[in-house]
Amino acid sequence: MRANVKARVAISRCQSWRGFTLVELLVVIGIVAVLIAVLLPALGRARAQANRVVCLSNIRQLGVGILMYCNDNKGWFPTCAFPEDGSAYVQYPEDWIHWQANRNIMDSAIARYVVGGKGPETFKRILRCPADSFDGRKPIPGSAPGQGPYLYSYNMNIGMGANWKPYPAWQTGGRRLQRWRAPAKKIVLTEASQRALGPVWGWAAVLTRRHGTGRFHGSMPGDPAFGPIMGANVSAVFLDGHAEAIDQDYATNPNVQKWEAR
């Protein structure tokens, strides 16, 4: 009698501990798949927004460093660090970033203003947008050997100080901070296209599309890179020290970006 009771209890427990049926398992999998499909785009947008916030913070720190350099150097800008090519450009001690493989990044003209006594890894982190990718980047065509590819994200306005040959030619062709009109409109640093020639940007250059795209309303005859799609939400820092997102329409307007424009 006691054995029969134990057997019935064991059977009852087995029945109460039965696993999922195939239908129930498929329903659970379906619910999980729907939740993933709903959450992934939201997570992607949140990550993109976080990247833009960090990117704007980075470029503003770099811009403040450039302005501090100007204040210590009678209004002269650091030079834009165009790659040495053996003919038109040469490496300057005043280059805003010593990006080349054969130079020390901490010798950059603005390094001490941006990171103080902190090490090169901190400076490199600020120089890189978290949304940027450096895989497959190659040395800039026409550049002298030993410099390597440009492995950073931001690009300086070439109109503020070009590292022309012979040194120091930039002080004859450049313009001091005080001569630039409408500083709240003038871009110091921004994010050029990955096809950019190193750490340099000019108002007729293509901006990155890593933060988003829009429809380009301008016209740049002869440059197929300026198609109907433009970069949007691109980080930029201005001569008055503020940073904001811009697009290609704003950046390629010579009536805004040339030094004498009001």
Mean pLDDT of the 197-221 span: 86
Using 50, 70 and 90 to split pLDDT, how confident is the model at 16? low
Q: What is the pLDDT of residue 184?
A: 94
CA distance 158 to 155: 9
pTM of the entire predicted model: 0.81
Question: Are the C-beta atoms of 119 and 104 separated by less than 8 Å?
Answer: no
Q: Are strands 187-190 and 155-157 parallel, antiparallel or unpaired?
A: antiparallel
Contacts of 248 (CB under 8 A, 6+ apart): 206, 207, 214, 216, 218, 226, 230, 231, 232, 234
**Could you give the C-alpha distances from 223 to 28, 187, 220, in angstroms and in order?**
54, 22, 6
Residue 213's beta-bridge partner residues? 231
- Is pLDDT at 207 greater than 60 in this prediction? yes
Percentage of the chain exceeding pLDDT 90? 52
Q: What is the pLDDT of residue 242?
A: 96
Three-class SS state of 192: strand
Mean pLDDT of the 223-228 span: 76
Q: What is the per-residue pLDDT across 185-202, written as a single tens digit (0 to 9) for each?
A: 999 999 998 776 689 998
**Could you give the C-alpha distances from 138 to 39, 102, 193, in angstroms and in order?**
37, 15, 14
Amino acid at 106: M
- Is pLDDT at 15 greater than 60 in this prediction? no
Q: Are strands 200-201 and 155-157 parallel, antiparallel or unpaired?
A: parallel
Q: What is the per-residue pLDDT across 149-172, written as a single tens digit (0 to 9) for each?
A: 999 999 999 989 889 887 776 665
7-23 as b/e: b if 16+ CB within 10 A? eeeeeeeeeeeeeeeee
Mean pLDDT of the 233-255 span: 92
The single-letter DSSP state of residue 112 is H
Scanning the chain, the segments in alpha helix (DSSP H) are: 2-16, 22-72, 111-115, 120-126, 170-173, 248-251, 254-257
Q: What is the per-residue pLDDT across 67-124, written as a single tens digit (0 to 9) for each?
A: 999 999 999 999 999 999 988 899 999 999 999 999 999 999 999 999 998 999 999 9
Q: What is the pLDDT of residue 20?
A: 66
Three-class SS state of 234: strand
Higher-confidence residue: 227 or 247? Answer: 247
Q: What is the per-residue pLDDT across 21-36, written as a single tens digit (0 to 9) for each?
A: 877 777 778 788 777 7
The position carrying tokens 């992607």 is 44
Higher-confidence residue: 230 or 6? Answer: 230
Torsion-angle region of 103 (φ positive above 0: left; ψ -120 to 50: alpha; else: beta): beta
Percentage of the chain exceeding pLDDT 70? 85
- Is pLDDT at 4 greater than 60 in this prediction? no
Q: What is the pLDDT of residue 171?
A: 62
Q: What is the pLDDT of residue 50?
A: 92
Higher-confidence residue: 70 or 174? Answer: 70
Mean pLDDT of the 212-225 span: 78
Average pLDDT value for the chain: 85
Amino acid at 231: G
CA distance 25 to 45: 31
- Is pLDDT at 9 greater than 50 in this prediction? no
Mean pLDDT of the 55-75 span: 96
Using a 10 angstrom Cβ sphere, with 0-12 exposed, 13-18 middle and 19 or more buried, the burial of residue 128 is middle
- Is pLDDT at 260 greater than 90 in this prediction? no
